Amino acid sequence: MSPLPKVHPKVHPGVVLFALAVGSFAIGTTEFAAMSLLPYFSRGLNISEPVAGHVISAYALGVVVGAPTIAILAAKLSRRTLLIGLMIVFGIANGLSALAPDYHTMLLFRFLSGLPHGAYFGVAALVGASLVANHKRAQAVSLIMIGLTVATVIGVPAANALGQAIGWRWGFGIVAGLAALTVLLIALYAPQDVPDTDASPLRELGALKKSQVWLTLGIGAIGFGGMFAVYTYVASTLLEVTHVAPAMVPVVLCIFGIGMTAGTLFCGWAADKPLPASIQPMWTALSLSSQHSALMPMVAACLLWSALCMVLFVFATPWLWAMCVVVFMIGCGGGLGIMLQTRLMDVAGEAQTLAAALNHSAFNTANALGPYLAGMAVAAGYGFPSAGWVGCALTLGGLLMWVVSVLNDRRKGYGAVEV
C-alpha cells in the first residue's frame, strides 16, 4: 500500500478533525432529517408520501453516482481544495432544496445534494488519517464520522422541530448554514496539502482491479443492509406492534443515535489496538497474516454482534423497555463503517480517493437493499418484526463476504497490510 501523504506537522489534529466533523454533521442531518420531514414537504409540494419518498431515493442516487465520479475527475486536486469545493456545492444544493417550488425541482436539488456526500467522507477520512500515526487511523476516522452519528441525536430532531414549528424548508436551510460553517472552518484550519502530481483518473480506476477493494465494499453493501432493514421499520414497529405513543418514537430513534455514536467511538478505538497475544497465533493460522492490528477481527466481531441484535429485535417488539435496549445495541453496530473505511486504506494501493469514496456508495446500496428486502417481508404478511430476520440474514451475508476476503488473503499468501 502506498503510504498516505502526511500533511503539515504544525496543524493540531484535533482542530482539523473537528472542522471535518462539522461537515459530517451537516451531511448526516440532511440525510436523516429528510426522512423525518417527508410528511411535511409532501404536503408542501402537493404530492403523496409514497411519491415524496422518491426525493429520498434521489439523494441516495446522487451519493452512489457522485462518490466515484468526483473521486476520479478530481484526482489531481489537493484534498483541502476538494473538500471546500464539495461543501460549497453541498450547501448551495441544500439551499436550493429549501426553495424548491415543485416536486421535480426538489428531485433535482436532492440529487445534487447527494453528489458530494461520498466524496466528502472519503477525502475527509484520508485527511484525518494523514494527521495521525498509522496505528491511530481508525480513531481519527471515527472522530470525523462522529459528526454523522451526533446528527442522528441532535441534528435530526432539531431539523424536525424546525420543520414542525416554522416550516419544512428551514430544515434544509439550516443544513446550508452548516455547510457554510464547514467551508469556513476548513479554509481556516485544514492544512495546505500539495496535490499528487502522479495522480490521474486512470490511477484511481486502478482500485477497481483489486479484489480486496470489491470484497470490502461487498461487506458494507450487504452487511450494513441489515441495520438499514431494521432502522427503516423501527418507527412503524413501535406504533403498530409495541403500541407506544407517537411522542416516544423520536426518543427511541435518539437512543439509536446514541448507540451509533458509542459504537463508532468504541470500534475506532478497538480496531487500532493490537491483537491480544492469546488470539494472535489463531489469527495468523487463519489468514497467514502477521498483522498485529485488530481491525479485521473486529469487523467480524461487529457483524456477529449485529446479527445477534437483529434476532433480539424480533422478540423485543412487545415491550418498550426491550426495544430501547435492542435499538441501542443495533446502533452500536454502526461502528462497522469506520472499520471498513480504514480497511480500504490498506487495500486500495495508490487509488485511495476512489476507494474511500466508494465506501459510501456501498453504504447507500445497503440503504436501498435493506429496506427493500424488509419491505417485501412485511408486505408478504410476516409483520414488522420480520425486519429483524431480514436484517440478520443480510448481516450474515456481510460476514460471509468477510470470510471470502480472509480466504482471498490466504490464497495469495499474504494478509492485511501491516499497520
By CB atoms closer than 10 A (0-12, 13-18, 19+), residue 277 is: exposed
Position 285 scores a pLDDT of 61
At 202 the pLDDT is 65
What residues have CB less than 8 Å from 20, skipping those under 6 apart?
Answer: 83, 124, 127, 128, 144, 147, 186, 190
Contact yes or no for 288/414 (Cβ under 8 A):
yes
- The β-bridge partners of 274 are 293
pLDDT of residue 343: 86
Please report the pLDDT score of residue 206 as a whole number: 65
What span, in angstroms and rounded, lies between the C-alpha atoms of 360 and 157?
A: 23
331 Cβ contact list (under 8 Å, min separation 6): 255, 256, 257, 258, 259, 260, 261, 262, 263
The DSSP letter of residue 291 is -
Average pLDDT per consecutive 10 residues, the chain (419 residues; last block may be shorter): 46 84 91 74 79 79 86 82 95 94 92 91 85 80 84 77 80 92 92 69 69 89 89 83 84 87 86 71 59 79 95 95 95 88 79 76 82 84 90 95 84 48
Q: What is the pLDDT of residue 395?
A: 96
Angle among Cα 234, 239, 242 to the nearest 5 degrees reads: 85
Phi, psi of 293, rounded to the nearest 5 degrees: -75, 145
Chain centroid offset of residue 30 CA? 13
Give pLDDT, residue 281: 65
pTM here is 0.77
Q: Are 186 and 23 in contact (CB under 8 A)?
A: yes
Q: Which three cell numbers stand for residue 307?
A: 446479527
Give the Cβ contact number of residue 122 at 10 Å: 28
Which amino acid, residue 301?
A: A
Contact between 84 and 188 (Cβ < 8 Å): no
102, with CB counted inside 10 A (0-12, 13-18, 19+), is exposed
Residue 323 to residues 252, 318, 336, 388: CA-CA distances in angstroms?
8, 8, 21, 12
Return the C-alpha cell found at 100.
424548491
Please state, in angstroms and rounded to a whole number, the distance separating the CA atoms of residues 163 and 170.
6
Asked, colleague to colleague, whether 8-197 and 200-413 share their fold, the answer is yes
Across 283-369, the runs of DSSP E, i.e. the strands, are none
Name residue, grid cell 488470539. Answer: 279
Reading the block at residue 51, the C-alpha cell is 411519491
Angle formed by the axes of helices 211-218 and 386-412, nearest 10°: 160
Alpha-carbon radius of gyration of the chain: 21
Q: How far apart are CA 315 and CA 329, in angstroms?
A: 14
Select the CATH number that applies to the domain covering 200-413 from these four: 3.50.70.10, 1.20.1250.20, 1.20.140.150, 3.40.50.970.
1.20.1250.20
Options 3.20.20.100, 2.40.50.140, 3.40.50.360, 1.20.1250.20; CATH for 8-197 is 1.20.1250.20
C-alpha cell at 130: 494523514
The pLDDT, as a whole number, for residue 207 is 63
Question: Dihedral of CA 269/71/95/161: which sign?
Answer: negative
Picking from 329, 276, 338, the residue whose alpha carbon sits closest to that of residue 304 is: 329
Distances (CA, A) of 128 to 64, 341, 381: 23, 12, 46
- Please tell me the distance from the alpha carbon of residue 39 to that of residue 163, in angstroms, as a whole number: 10
- Give the CA dihedral 86, 224, 148, 333, nearest 10 degrees: -150
Domain range list for the chain: 8-197, 200-413
User: What is the rounded distance in angstroms from the CA atom of residue 2 to the CA atom of residue 418?
Assistant: 12
9 within 8 A of 132, measured Cβ to Cβ: no
Q: Are 151 and 32 in contact (CB under 8 A)?
A: yes
Q: Which residues of 160-199 are buried (b: 16+ CB within 10 A; e: fewer)?
A: bebbeeeebbbbbbbbbebbbbbbebbeebbbebebbeeb
